Structure 1
Amino acid sequence: MPIDQIAMGSHEEFRSPGALKAALAEFISTLIFVFAGQGSGMAYNKLTADGAASPAGLISASIAHAFGLFVAVSVGANISGGHVNPAVTFGAFVGGNITMFRGILYIVAQLLGSTAACGLLEFATGGLSTGSFALGADVSVWNALVFEIVMTFGLVYTVYATAVDPKKGELGTIAPIAIGFIVGANILAGGCFTGASMNPAVSFGPSLVSWTWTHQWVYWAGPLIGGGLAGVIYEFVFINRSHEQLASGDF
């Protein structure tokens, strides 16, 4: 892997107005996404009196997350690139499409946005639990890790193909909906096994607010490995340094 393509950036980015605005956009986009996605699960629990998971609940979660991510990516795309996910930011970093310091700003903003969304949900629902991500029955941590790696690989690969690749052309206009669709599809595939996080921020916020940390490492390791692999493979196999470096504000 060409290490020289990875950009570290400068700590001055922590004070750069452009980087701070982009981080704020990530905070707001992640808040929007988590509020809709996590809120749909809380609404299902309220309607069913904390009943057992069902196919209808899985489909509802898939639709809510697909729609919510479509909007969250769309509203942040022109400001920060609409990452809404530390795994996407990490995948962009290893591919040389964002500096380390800007990436840190993004990830902190994403974690804060998710936490704020869950805090608002708990308050707005009168104290209902946000819950936390958990493994399904008879699912080992290694099963779950593979699920999260593969699902996040698909997500970040889609981000690269539709939003990062300079040859994307008009395909870029459907990037937000393609990204939302792959998340929705992955929830249908993995929701009953791992909860289908694909996003460390999405699992961090509910766990912090409910203070439940069981198997939390799976929801960090899996997405970061999957996102990193997708970034490396797409950037260095399919793009292969055949384009001008993206401006930091483009993605």
Structure 2
Amino acid sequence: MSLSFSKHDITATIGEFIGTGYFLFMGVGGAVNFINHAVGSPLPGLAIPFCFGFSLFVNVFIWAPVSGGVFNPSITIALMVTKNLPLIRGVMYIVAQLLGALVGSWLIDLVQPGAPNAATTLGDDTSIAQGLFLEMFTTSVLTMAVLMLAVEKHGQFMAPFGIGMALFVSALCAGPYTGASLNPARTFGPAIVANDYGRAHWIYYIGPTLGSLLAAAYWYLLKFLQYEKAVGSGPEKPESDRNSDKHDLENP
């Protein structure tokens, strides 16, 4: 196995760095804007998932032709495990995603009025185990969206939208309890910039990674079962019935 890399790996890694930076810049910036200007209303509960979901959608759409538009170390690991991403490029992606998230979070903190503290922390009534499993299961949904829509190419041009909507609906589910990270880079950048790590900061790295590996296991199972042949195939007839059908066709 070669560990060398080419200029194409460098180009794609640059795409991941810039794309992750913009994903955090727009997601954090939009979310904090709603938090600061919709105090006392239920709007942020819907608007924050919308900001991150659509930020992911837009940036995947822009950067997918360059790098695939992953922007997530946990999903990068899933792509390496499923052999849809070479090891050396995956490692480069993870470094670029973490650095991009840090730069994007720092830039929005620098240019946006006020202090955009968008760190993902556990809710007061959320246990560590609940937070871990919420991050795991929601990330598995997001990773499956990437695997089925982008890798398997079932989403065609709608794959970025489907991936963004997977983040949106997952954030609706987990947002009030964990902040809905689903992405170690999304946690890493804002936590450092805001110096806010909350309780059990580690779950935002372990939970999403376990979720991405769960999705990889689903993907391997579906490929083993040849899922492509499942839709519309119906139950397989016994051989005697198939022979009978053949006889009827030959002797109407």
Q: Does 1:217 align with 2:209?
A: no
Deviates more, 1:132-141 or 1:209-218: 209-218
Q: 44, 66, 72: which is aligned to 2:53? A: 66
Q: CA offset at residue 240 of structure 1? A: 3.6
Q: Does 1:86 align with 2:73?
A: yes
- 2:156, 2:213 → 1: CA distance? 21
Partners of 2:34 and 2:43 within 8 A in 1: no
Q: CA offset at residue 136 of structure 1? A: 1.1
- Alignment match, 1:119: 106
- Alignment match, 1:228: 213
- 1:127, 1:47 → 2: CA distance? 11
- Alignment match, 2:26: 36
- 2:120, 2:26 → 1: CA distance? 16
Q: 157, 162, 171: which is aligned to 1:178? A: 162
Q: 203, 207, 225: which is aligned to 2:191? A: 207
The percent identity for this pair of structures is: 33
SS at match of 1:78: helix
TM-score (norm 2): 0.84
Deviating runs (4+, > 3 A) in structure 1? none
RMSD value, Cα: 1.8
Q: CA offset at residue 11 of structure 1? A: 3.1
Quick one: which amino acid aligns to residue 3 of structure 2?
Answer: H
Q: CA offset at residue 44 of structure 1? A: 2.5
- Closer, same or farther: CA 241–89 of 1 in aligned 2, 3 Å: farther
Partners of 1:118 and 1:130 within 8 A in 2: no
Q: Does 1:101 align with 2:88?
A: yes
Report which structure shows greater RCO (CA 8 Å, sep ≥6). 1
- State the number of aligned residues: 225
Q: CA offset at residue 10 of structure 1? A: 3.4
Q: CA offset at residue 125 of structure 1? A: 2.1
- 1:159, 1:46 → 2: CA distance? 32
- Alignment match, 1:10: 2
1:156-208 CA-partner distances (Å, limit 9, x unpaired): 01111111126x3xx32211000000110111111101011101100000011
Q: CA offset at residue 241 of structure 1? A: 10
Q: Which one has the largest radius of gyration?
A: 2
1:37-58 CA-partner distances (Å, limit 9, x unpaired): 111222133325xx46x53101
Quick one: which amino acid aligns to residue 198 of structure 1?
Answer: L
- 1:238, 1:46 → 2: CA distance? 44
Gaps spanning 5+ residues in structure 2: where?
A: 227-252
- 2:116, 2:66 → 1: CA distance? 33
Partners of 1:122 and 1:129 within 8 A in 2: yes
- 1:222, 1:31 → 2: CA distance? 22
Q: CA offset at residue 78 of structure 1? A: 1.2
Partners of 1:91 and 1:232 within 8 A in 2: no
Quick one: which amino acid aligns to residue 76 of structure 1?
Answer: W
Q: 156, 161, 164: which is aligned to 2:151? A: 164
Partners of 2:31 and 2:52 within 8 A in 1: no
1:93-143 CA-partner distances (Å, limit 9, x unpaired): 111111221111001111111111111111102561434111112101100
Q: 150, 168, 171: which is aligned to 2:137? A: 150
1:11-51 CA-partner distances (Å, limit 9, x unpaired): 322xx210011011011111111111111222133325xx4
- 2:134, 2:150 → 1: CA distance? 24
Quick one: which amino acid aligns to residue 10 of structure 1?
Answer: S
